[in-house]
Structure 1
Amino acid sequence: MRVGKSTERMRQIGPDGVETLPELTSVDAPAAPARCRRTLVERARWEWRPADGGDPADGAQEFLAAHGLPLHDLARPATHDPAGVCGAALYVSAAAGALLAGAPPGAPNPVPTLPEVAVVVYGHGDPPSPRPAAGPWRLGEWVESWTPARHAGAVEAVRDAIGRGDVYQVNVVGHAAARYAGDPLPALARLGTLPGARYGGVLAGAGWAVGCASPETLVELTGGRLVTRPIKGTRPATPAGARELLASAKERAEHVMIVDLERNDLARIARTGSVRVDELFAVRRWCDLWQAESTVSATAADGLGLADLLRAVCPGGSVTGAPKRAALEQIAALEPVGRGASMGALGWVAPGRVDLGLTIRTAAVDTDRVHVWAGGGITWGSDPRAEVAEAAAKSAPVRAALGGR
């Protein structure tokens, strides 16, 4: 189906004359407190783009402190104020994470209206009015950012880099976009209903919105305890697929490599000797796929602030590779389109609590197109054709949900 520029798109014109998307009338940010969602009201917003300069991690922490959310010591006990500021939605792109890691940010963002960091502070108030019923929704044909042959070629390039000893593993991600007509927000909200979408939800701004169906915890902090749950290893969700995943030496080696990287990331911000692997290579389901997940935890160091936490964990090791900085250099050289909303962080922050999902299985919209991304970790034992097929399998449920199927 072809969808061109259409007057049927539900657009609004902001006070500055800029075309925007319809407004959200309820808060659906991933990991927002369930008991508060129906009473949350936006109080303040901060968006960062590279042209703004400065350190985005410091900027986010300073903005939150100025609006009643001091996050300079996350290990300090905190209480929830039902009459005051509740918390904030936080989004950090993969490109911003690369900058925090001192690595190149990669190709340009294909969603130019999308900021690289967004912070939205919420307080409690009267429940918002229900949204009017959405009109017709039409999604056009997907246009891939690279062909299967180019994707396979990138896999081979990573294998060559591994052979030279430059890296041990690199996550390679592709992108696709489709034109749309209608209100995109209900389509993005459908992603949160996919099975296993631990970080299902939507965050929107002027001319952009992000919908997430991620099952992966980038970092969670409650009661002074840090947790990350890296996912590596994928097979079809069949009995044979589970047996194959559990028996795969290649998948297990790739997974353990990333678990070790995540242990090192947490060790930078944890009390000495407190990092441990609580669960290794547990097979869990997301839609019609089995995935291998581990749980790594640690005790937060005294005085750990949000900015240092973001610098330690962004971008996530499971979507970069190892060593992280060398993997990011390979990603910047190989991927023809920026990662946009994908492979970053999205979730909720408040005093004493952080819960950020890694934005895999994520889509973004601007005023013209829907964007999706998918990829996988490449090791010396990777088969290029299998890697292309795996990326397609990860993307398929997201595309189907966006299309209303």
Structure 2
Amino acid sequence: MTRKGPDVVEALPQVEVDVPGAPPGCRRRLIETARLHWSIGDGGDPADLAQRFLAAHGITRDDLSRPGRHDPDAAVCGAALYLSAAAGAYALGVSPGAPSPAPTLPDLVVVVYHHTDRPAPPLRPALARWRLGPWRDSWTPAAHAAAVDAVRAAIARGDVYQTNLVGHAAAAYTGDPLPTLARLAALPGARYGGTLHGPGWALGCASPETLVAVERGRLVTRPIKGTRPATPAGRRDLLASAKERAEHVMIVDLERNDLAQVARTGSVRVDELFAVRRWCDLWQAESTVSAAPADGLGLADLLRALCPGGSVTGAPKRAALARIAALEPVGRGAGMGALGWVGPDRLDLGLTIRTAAADGRRLHLWAGGGITWDSDPAAEVAEAAAKAAPIRALLAA
């Protein structure tokens, strides 16, 4: 575990903060003042560490039922928060799965920002020397299809109802990866577009999915499950698909159960069910589930209840995580985790789907989909490739 305090911050270059969920009016007038990095080998509870570190730096979120206030003239603005899927599983006491293919990326990052009177220059543009090599997948299409069949066999045995399978690909690069990763935020539908970086690593996100946010005093999650090409025929097919709707409703029920663990009794509701929205050249089905936070609900308990997200694990969640750990050949790294902003008045975390990460040598990308009894292995392989294609194309440009 590493911590950095204000004694080293003033030497850092001023850059525009590009973290998803950061207050738009503050992004060019923030300076980093403290940072926490944690990896699973460090031990301890990452959710509790995050809450205590934030409180130690003026961001107290030990009762999310109390409204907060953002003061643009106050010293502290808020903090970037990243929590890996492996850390979420670890906090649940479940195997985090295979090792990450990007081990320099921590499993928990908290970066605290204060307001400053020295506005930062805009993010630097991508440099011409950027070059990306060929992508190498962590499993072949045949191995991916075999994993789909293994999940279907587990469903037949009654071990799980649904499991999300995720593949990984990596490509060598030369040049500065951060400007290229920052371009992911411009992809259509990237509600959580942005970047986060540290020594020897960087990640870029183009996620459309809300893992958890606090909106008008309610906890909100927006699970996405169900994908088709963004054509008129694709939209009709998605709306008519009994398989996609059943898969989607199963995850909505899981999210309702997760929220119920930390909500005021009787306050969980589905505000919107199976709405079809666009991300790049794909239609996706999204629902909105919300609840009133229980009195005294702190950030740590919320993270333990919601992470990793149900739409990227499966149902039941613990059993699905055990299948994932047994079947996926490499860890999920930056994929399928949480990334966003925590402030005195603000909590907005996206799910890190459509996310790429760089270590010192390679770019990494993760993509997958939910498997049910009705899943066709070849179609699942094709769906994962379709989700990754826009990101691969942009990173190679």
Scaled by the length of structure 2, the TM-score of the pair is: 0.95
Maintained 8 Å contact 1:224/1:352 = no
DSSP 3-state at the match of 2:233: helix
Count of aligned pairs: 383
- Compared CA separation, residues 389 and 121, structure 1 to 2 (3 A): same
Checking the alignment, whether the CA contact within 8 Å between 1:102 and 1:325 is kept in structure 2 is no
Q: Note if 1:77 corresponds to 2:70.
A: no
Q: Structure 2 counterpart of 1:94, which letter?
A: A
Gaps of 5+ in 2: 1-11
2:52 corresponds, among 29, 45, 62, to: 62
Q: Distance in 2 between matches of 1:131 and 1:342?
A: 24
**Identity of paired residues, percent?**
74
Give distance in 2, aligned partners of 1:90 and 1:316: 15
Q: Which amino acid aligns with 1:222?
A: E
Whether 1:128 and 2:120 are equivalent positions in the alignment is yes
Residue of structure 2 in register with 1:96 after alignment: 87
Paired residue for 1:246?
A: 239
Instruction: Give the C-alpha shift of residue 130 in structure 1.
Output: 4.9
**1:327 Cα offset (Å):** 0.1
Q: CA deviation at 1:81?
A: 2.1
Question: Could you tell me how far apart the structure 1 residues matched to 2:123 and 2:44 are?
Answer: 37
1:281 lines up with 2:274 in the alignment: yes
Runs of 4+ deviating beyond 6 Å = none
Structure 1 position 361 matched with structure 2 position 354: yes
Q: Secondary structure, in 3 states, of the residue corresponding to 1:154? A: helix
Q: Give the unaligned 5+ runs of structure 1.
A: 1-21
Match of 2:16 in 1: 26
Q: Write the distance in 2 (CA, Å) between the matches of 1:198 and 1:128.
A: 23
Say if 2:77 and 2:344, in contact at 8 Å, map to a contact too: no
The residue number in structure 1 matching 2:284 is 291
* Letter of the 2:96 counterpart: P
Q: What do residues 49-89 of structure 1 show as CA deviations (whole Å, max 9, x unaligned)?
A: 11211111111100000001011111212111223100000
Task: Give the direction of change, closer, same or farther, for the CA distance of 1:23–1:180 in structure 2 (3 Å limit).
Answer: farther
- Structure 1 CA distance, aligned partners of 2:143 and 2:133? 23
| Deviating more after overlay: 77-86 vs 206-215 | 77-86
1:353 Cα deviation (Å)?
A: 1.9
Instruction: Tell whether the 8 Å contact from 1:172 to 1:378 is kept in structure 2 after alignment.
Output: yes
Q: Establish whether residue 117 from structure 1 lines up as the match of residue 133 from structure 2.
A: no
Alpha-carbon distance between aligned partners in 1 of 2:190 and 2:258, rounded to the nearest angstrom: 24
Match of 2:3? none
Q: Tell me: CA distance 1:131–1:260, structure 2 relative to 1, closer, same or farther (3 Å).
A: closer
Native 8 Å contact 1:222 1:352 kept in 2 = no
Q: CA RMSD in A?
A: 1.2
Residues 167-176 or 83-92, more deviating: 83-92
- 1-side partners of 2:272 and 2:14: how far apart? 38
SS of the aligned residue for 2:28 comes to helix
Structure 1 residue aligned with 2:6: none
Counterpart residue number, 2:171: 178
TM-score w.r.t. structure 1 length?
Answer: 0.93
* CA distance in structure 1 between the aligned counterparts of 2:64 and 2:243, rounded to whole angstroms: 37
Q: Does 1:267 align with 2:257?
A: no
Is 1:317 aligned to 2:310, yes or no? yes
CA distance in 2, matches of 1:59, 1:215: 27
User: Equivalent of 1:38, from 28, 43, 49?
Assistant: 28
Structure 2 residue aligned with 1:213: 206
SS in 2 for 1:192: helix
Contact 2:14 2:120 in 1 (8 A): no
Q: Classify the secondary structure of the residue corresponding to 1:35.
A: helix
Determine if the alignment matches structure 1 residue 106 to structure 2 residue 90.
no
Question: Which of 398, 402, 405 in structure 1 is aligned with 2:395?
Answer: 402
